[in-house]
Amino acid sequence: MENFKMRFKWNGLELDLEGNEKVVREEFAVFKDFMIEKVIPNLGNSVSVVESENIGLQEGSQTSDSIRFPHIKEVVMRDLPKTEGEWILIYGFYASNFGKEPFSEPAIKTLYEVSKRKNLNRMKNFSANFNRLISNGLIKILNENEFILSQKGLEQSHYILDYDQHPPVIEQGVGGDAVASKKIKKAGKSALKNKGPQMLSSLNLKQPHVETIRSFYERHSASTFFERNLMFVYYLEKILQETPVTLSHIYTCYKSLSLKVPGNIYQSIVDTKKIKGWLEIRSMNDIQLSIHGEQVVEHELTN
C-alpha cells in the first residue's frame, strides 16, 4: 500500500508526515500555518516547503544505508524518552536531521509544540535542562546560535529510540515530570549509568576440545563489521553455547583477536539487525542469531 507524504523544511528542522492523504494534508496545513504565522516571523528565517505525492514508500520500509526513525508523534505515544533531559536530546536529534546538521534552541521549542508537550513548567526549566546536556557532553556549542549533537549524544539518541532496548537514563533535569522520576527509581541505581561494553575476563575463548575463536574466524571470510558481528554471535551461541550473548561478549571477541572495534559498536549491532536481518535483539544483554544469519555464516561466509 502506497503512502502519501508531505515534507516541511526549516532551519535544519525537517518534518515528514506520511499516511492517509486526507489526514496528512490536514495535519500538514495545521503545522505549516503555525510555523509561518507564529514562529518564523519572529525569527527571520526562510522556509522551504516540499510536497511529494504518492512517493511509493511501503509502510515500514527503509533504505539499505540508513535506519528509519519513528515519527515524533510515535515517540510521544510510545513514551520513549523517560526524563525531560532525554526529551530535549531527542528534539535536538530530530531538529538536526538525525544528527546531520546544526540545530537551534527555537527549533527544539517548536518540536515541543508539534509533539503537544509544551507547558509552563517545561519552558521555565528548559535552559537549565539544556545546559545540563551540554555539561554532560551530549550537545556541543557550534556558535552563538547553533548547536550540534556529540557522538555520545547521537549514540544516546539511537539508544532511546530503539524500542527493543531497555531505555537508558540521562540524569533527571530540573523540573522533570514526576512520572519519569518514578520510572527511573524503579529501574534501580545500576540503570543510571550507561557504561558501554566491557572486556569479560570470565569469557574463555580458548576452551579445551572446542574450536578457538581465532580458528573459527580464520576459516570464514568476514570483511565488514556486520559480518564480524554476525560471526561472533554465531560462535558464542553455537560453538561455545554461551547464553545470553551481550554487547560485552561481542566487544571481547573483537579485542581478543586484536581487531578494530566499530566506532559505535552499539549502533553497529543494531544495524546488523535492522539492515541485514542477521540478528534478533531483545536488549543489549540478549542478542541472538536469526535463522537468516545462521544460514549466511554456514553457506556464504565459509572459505
pLDDT digits (tens, 9 = 90+) for 25-55: 666 666 666 665 555 555 444 444 433 333 3
CATH of domain 72-192: 1.10.10
Break the chain into its structural domains and give their ranges: 4-52, 72-192, 213-299
Q: Which amino acid is at 15?
A: L
Q: Which residue has the higher pLDDT, 105 or 17?
A: 105
Answer for the pair 279, 225: CB distance below 8 angstroms, yes or no.
no
Compute the distance between CA of residue 181 and CA of residue 173 in angstroms, rounded to an integer.
10
What are 98's strand-pairing partners?
none
Q: Nine-digit cell at 24?
A: 496528512
Predicted TM-score of the model (pTM): 0.45
Which CATH number, 3.40.50.720, 1.10.10.10, 3.30.70.270, 3.40.30.10, labels domain 213-299?
Answer: 1.10.10.10
Kindly tell me the sign of the dihedral angle through the C-alpha atoms of 177, 182, 188, 189. Answer: positive
To the nearest whole number, what is the mean pLDDT of the chain? 77
Is the pLDDT at 250 greater than 50? The verdict is: yes
- What value does the mean pLDDT take over residues 220-230? 92
What are 18's strand-pairing partners?
5
